[in-house]
């Protein structure tokens, strides 16, 4: 992984342009966001503003924090190549009791804040104020049932809230609210980006309904997968009313929600979408020249 100095040097060579980037939720399918960041990098540009929901908030935070697409790819491949690598990182970075992080006897299986504190790359800032690109994490206020956008304070609690699926992960208490996954109100937050930039790229990784039909999925796959089905419905209705300038939909809908260890396959499946995005960005740059 690159050190912070290298990241700063890389960013100084990129040109910030008035293009906003919205990254949607999709659990493991969200790995497809990484090649989209690479598309920006390979053209020597970076977005002016980023908004992310759920897995999109995690990737978006890393990108806004100074990581390149290649660095995110290397990090993801490193920890998701094998389950042993994933477990090793947890044990090497967690000093508390394992039951505080993962406990099937509690109402929520996983403490998302603690897990993300362990898993997030060390070079990513922990506060919004230290990000290199303005960023917003989309969450849902459980009690008001409304969208709640976070753009300041603790980055970890914000992206944890944006990614918290009820029953699977513990809701995040922040700003006097109880917050859960932002996908319930805004699966791909391009409307938030459209308010900030004149040109918006949205990456929807929910995919078309589908997936492996090899028997009945496990309980967690069923829970998260059913949520993604609902998000697909919300996204379709949203697109009927308002569309971003560019909508990229990587062909990853056949991957189950929790197939994070198929990282390499998801990255490969996203390459055609990356090429599509590069063509769209090149066309925008020529238009603006």
CA distance 202 to 189: 8
181 is catalytic: yes
**Catalytically annotated residue among 41, 54, 68, 162:** 54
**Catalytically annotated residue among 41, 162, 181, 204:** 181
Decide the pairing of beta strands 135-141 and 146-150: antiparallel
Query: Which of 134, 245, 160 shows the shortest CA–CA distance to 199?
Result: 245
Q: Which positions are annotated as active-site residues?
A: 54, 181
């Amino acid at each position: 992984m690159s050190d912070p100095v290298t990241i700063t040097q890389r960013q100084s060579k990129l040109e910030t342009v008035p293009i906003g980037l919205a990254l949607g939720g999709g659990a493991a399918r969200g790995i497809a966001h990484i090649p989209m960041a690479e598309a920006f990098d390979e053209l020597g540009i970076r977005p002016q503003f980023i908004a992310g929901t759920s897995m999109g908030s995690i990737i978006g935070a890393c990108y806004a924090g100074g990581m390149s697409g290649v660095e995110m790819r290397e990090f993801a491949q490193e920890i998701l190549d094998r389950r042993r690598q994933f477990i090793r990182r947890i044990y090497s970075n967690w000093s508390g009791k394992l039951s505080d992080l993962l406990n099937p006897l509690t109402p929520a299986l996983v403490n998302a804040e603690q897990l993300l504190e362990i898993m997030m790359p060390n070079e990513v800032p922990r506060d919004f104020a230290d990000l290199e690109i303005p960023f917003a994490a989309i969450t849902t206020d459980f009690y008001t049932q409304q969208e709640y956008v976070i753009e300041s304070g603790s980055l970890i609690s914000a992206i944890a809230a944006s990614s918290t699926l009820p029953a699977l992960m513990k809701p995040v208490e922040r700003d006097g609210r109880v917050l859960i996954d932002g996908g319930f109100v805004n699966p791909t937050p391009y409307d938030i980006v459209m308010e900030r930039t004149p040109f918006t790229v949205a990456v929807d990784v929910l995919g078309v309904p589908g997936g492996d039909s090899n028997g009945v999925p496990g309980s967690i796959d069923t829970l998260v997968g059913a949520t993604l089905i609902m998000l697909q419905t919300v996204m379709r209705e949203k697109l009927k009313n308002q569309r971003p300038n560019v909508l990229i939909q990587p062909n990853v809908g056949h991957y189950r929600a929790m197939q994070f260890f198929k990282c390499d396959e998801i990255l490969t499946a996203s390459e055609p979408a990356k090429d599509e995005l590069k063509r769209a960005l090149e066309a925008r740059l020529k238009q603006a020249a």
